[in-house]
């Protein structure tokens, strides 16, 4: 797909989603502060189906207020009965947990359960954030996320202001259907990543693979394609640039290899060197790393480990739990 067509699709998708935000002031801030990046642009360049559009925000306040906006709606509509309070409380009591990372305060959604909650209850067959085999999420994606395949054809309607967010099987489009600590998933292929925010270059400092670093911004309304990202897409070569979640990156390799990508031993060594710097026997560190994967199974692993020994993780016990659950 050509860059002009990709830009057209992204503009249309963004405008349709933004139009669904009922809070006018928030909608205007979203229009000025949104970045779309990661896998959607890569998929379109390779003429592959887009699984989802990953949305980030340029500033902390927009990121925080959008999280509040959708958590309120999720709390009102979810059937799981799992509390997802939106008040600013500590991690142990639920809500939005704030801490001080490199730039600004981190926003973390705390779900009082296994760490995730879905619109249809805890048994929804979906494992979030690219941490599981494609087939595990296929049914969920097809039934809940909806298709964006016709968005390009409806671009002129969006431009003229005619197109509004319509109902999807009797339910509003772009409603929150899945919540984890790092992100809020909306129906119709929008995923709001709240773990990071900032200018595109700041966001990409937290990424793992070069091919994910193309991006689109709402303030310029144009797609930016990077030479190194295009090179790795052409060769389907995984090139690791470092990540805050090296454990997640190692697990993501499986998915790409299944799709015909290659990776050399040097890239894997770089991941392992970063992993070596982490104390995975610290349950807080391990939970944060596995949250990067955001798999329901791993949320259950963390829960079992807490029950056994909340202060320190024993590798033998962890292996036993993993063997049982997988």
The Cα–Cα gap between 75 and 165 comes to 21
Structural domain count of the chain: 1
The Cα–Cα gap between 30 and 189 comes to 17
Residue 216 belongs to domain spanning: 3-235
Q: Say what the pLDDT of residue 212 is.
A: 87
Cα of first residue to Cα of last residue in the chain, in angstroms, is: 38
* Pair 235, 263: CB distance under 8 Å: no
Structure confidence at residue 105 as a pLDDT band (50, 70, 90): low
Q: What pLDDT digit, counting tens, does each position of 1-37 carry?
A: 788 899 999 999 999 999 999 999 999 999 999 999 9
Q: Is 280 a domain residue?
A: no
**For residue 326, how many other CB atoms are within 10 A of its CB?**
7
Q: What is the CA radius of gyration of the chain?
A: 19
Q: What pLDDT digit, counting tens, does each position of 145-156 carry?
A: 334 344 444 434
Q: Is 274 a domain residue?
A: no
- The residue among 152, 123, 166 whose CA lies nearest residue 296 is 123
142: phi then psi, degrees, rounded to nearest 5: -70, -35
User: For the chain, what percent of residues have pLDDT higher than 70?
Assistant: 67
Kindly state the tokens that stand for 49: 């189906």
Q: Is 70 a domain residue?
A: yes
Candidate ranges 17-21, 104-108, 287-291, 294-298; pick with highest mean pLDDT = 17-21
Structure confidence at residue 167 as a pLDDT band (50, 70, 90): low
Which residues are registered as beta bridge partners of 178? 118, 185
- How large is the average pLDDT for residues 137-146? 38
Q: Is 210 a domain residue?
A: yes
To the question of pTM greater than 0.75 for the whole model, the response is no
Q: Is 146 a domain residue?
A: yes
The Cβ-side half-sphere exposure at 153, using a 13 Å CA radius, reads 4
Q: Is 217 a domain residue?
A: yes
Q: What pLDDT digit, counting tens, does each position of 29-77 carry?
A: 999 999 999 889 999 998 888 888 999 999 989 998 999 899 888 876 6
Q: Is 294 a domain residue?
A: no
**For residue 236, how many other CB atoms are within 10 A of its CB?**
14
């Amino acid at each position: 797909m050509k860059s002009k067509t990709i830009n057209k699709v992204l503009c249309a998708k963004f405008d349709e989603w933004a139009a669904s935000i009922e809070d006018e002031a928030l909608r205007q801030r979203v229009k000025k502060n949104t970045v779309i990046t990661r896998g959607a642009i890569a998929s379109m360049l390779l003429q592959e189906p887009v699984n989802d559009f990953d949305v980030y925000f340029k500033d902390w306040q927009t990121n925080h207020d959008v999280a509040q906006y959708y958590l309120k709606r999720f709390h009102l509509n979810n059937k799981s009965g799992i509390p997802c309070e939106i008040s600013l409380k500590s991690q142990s009591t639920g809500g939005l947990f704030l801490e001080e990372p490199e730039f600004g305060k981190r926003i973390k959604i705390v779900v009082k359960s296994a760490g995730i909650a879905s619109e249809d209850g805890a048994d929804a067959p979906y494992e979030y954030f690219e941490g599981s085999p494609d087939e595990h999420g296929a049914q969920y994606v097809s039934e809940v996320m909806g298709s964006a395949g016709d968005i390009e054809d409806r671009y002129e309607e969006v431009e003229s202001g005619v197109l509004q967010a319509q109902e999807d099987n009797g339910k509003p489009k772009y409603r929150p259907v899945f919540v984890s600590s790092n992100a809020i998933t909306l129906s119709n292929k929008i995923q709001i990543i709240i773990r990071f925010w900032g200018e595109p270059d700041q966001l990409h400092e937290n990424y793992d693979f070069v091919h994910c670093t193309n991006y689109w911004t709402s303030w310029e309304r144009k797609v930016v394609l990077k030479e190194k990202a295009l090179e790795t897409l052409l060769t389907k070569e995984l090139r690791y640039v470092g990540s805050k979640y090296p454990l997640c990156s190692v697990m993501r390799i499986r998915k790409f290899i299944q799709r015909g990508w290659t990776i050399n031993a040097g890239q894997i060594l770089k991941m392992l060197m970063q992993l070596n710097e982490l104390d995975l026997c610290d349950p807080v560190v391990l939970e944060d790393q596995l949250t990067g994967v955001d798999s329901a199974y791993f949320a259950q692993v963390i829960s079992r480990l807490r029950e056994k020994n909340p202060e320190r993780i024993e590798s033998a016990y962890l292996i036993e739990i993993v063997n049982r659950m997988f």
